[in-house]
Amino acid sequence: MKSILWLLIFPIIFGICSFSTEEDKAMEIVEKTTNTFENKPFAIVQLFTSQGCSSCPPADALLEKVKKEYEGKNVFVLSYHVDYWNRLGWKDVFSKKKFSDLQYNYSSKFSGSSVYTPQAIVNGSVHFVGSNESKMDSYISNYLKRNTENVLMISSINKEGDKITFNYKVDGDIAAKNLKVALAIERKETNVKRGENSGHKLTSVNIVVQQLEISLYKTEGTATIKIPDLVERQDRLVLIGFVQTKNFNITAATQEEI
């Protein structure tokens, strides 16, 4: 009788144990998937600015405010310093012609024949005067509700001398898209001695000092970006990567500290 009873009970116990094991495995898989490659809405703000432009400091201040208020909320900011205001008496130490050229490329997208500062662009798709706080908040809020086409991960960052090497991985359709990775100084103050902002101490955040572009023929790889000489030892650096279509729409973004 005891033997028969045990034979009846054993499959039930075994079934319960098996069910618990399978459930644990399923939960483990979900947790690993969530922790490794999570698809989240995002907003990335690119500000075209200059230390030689008297209208730019309010936009620089707003960008810093956005950086602080949206910390940890998948909002990324970048300051691109253009060079066409350098003729007014002050050469912006962070300015580059390639950033002015980038702004002109955006201008073609937005059907404009000229450029202006401060200009903010969100997710490569909309632009407005960079000091307009209501538009800034509205566009960021809007993009944080949208689904994303891609997911980007940057990992295994290694700084050696004047070079930074990293791995990247992109999830989703990569056809006709590029990966762009910006090396930026997290925060910097500059005493401006001439030009429209003469006598002022200007603060900028996430100042792009180098940007790398990679054609996405495959979903993952390794890349190296060079640290320019203008970066000082005490400067805190960040890498901000984003996936962009040929029409400049940004479909994924991420940020990693160095």
The dihedrals phi and psi of 127, each to the nearest 5 degrees, come to -135, 160
Contact 81, 96 (CB under 8 A): yes
Domain regions of the chain by residue span: 43-257
**Average pLDDT for 193-197:** 93
Q: Is the pLDDT of residue 98 over 50?
A: yes
Write out pLDDT tens, residues 209-236. Answer: 999 999 999 999 999 999 999 999 999 9
Pick the CATH number of 43-257 from 2.60.40.1120, 2.60.40.10, 3.40.50.300, 3.20.20.70: 2.60.40.10
Predicted confidence band at 170 (pLDDT cuts at 50, 70, 90)? very high
pLDDT at residue 12 above 70?
no
* pLDDT band, residue 111 (cuts 50/70/90): confident
Task: Specify the DSSP element, H or E, that contains 207.
Answer: strand 201-215
What element of type H or E holds 186? strand 177-191
Tokens of 64: 């810093």
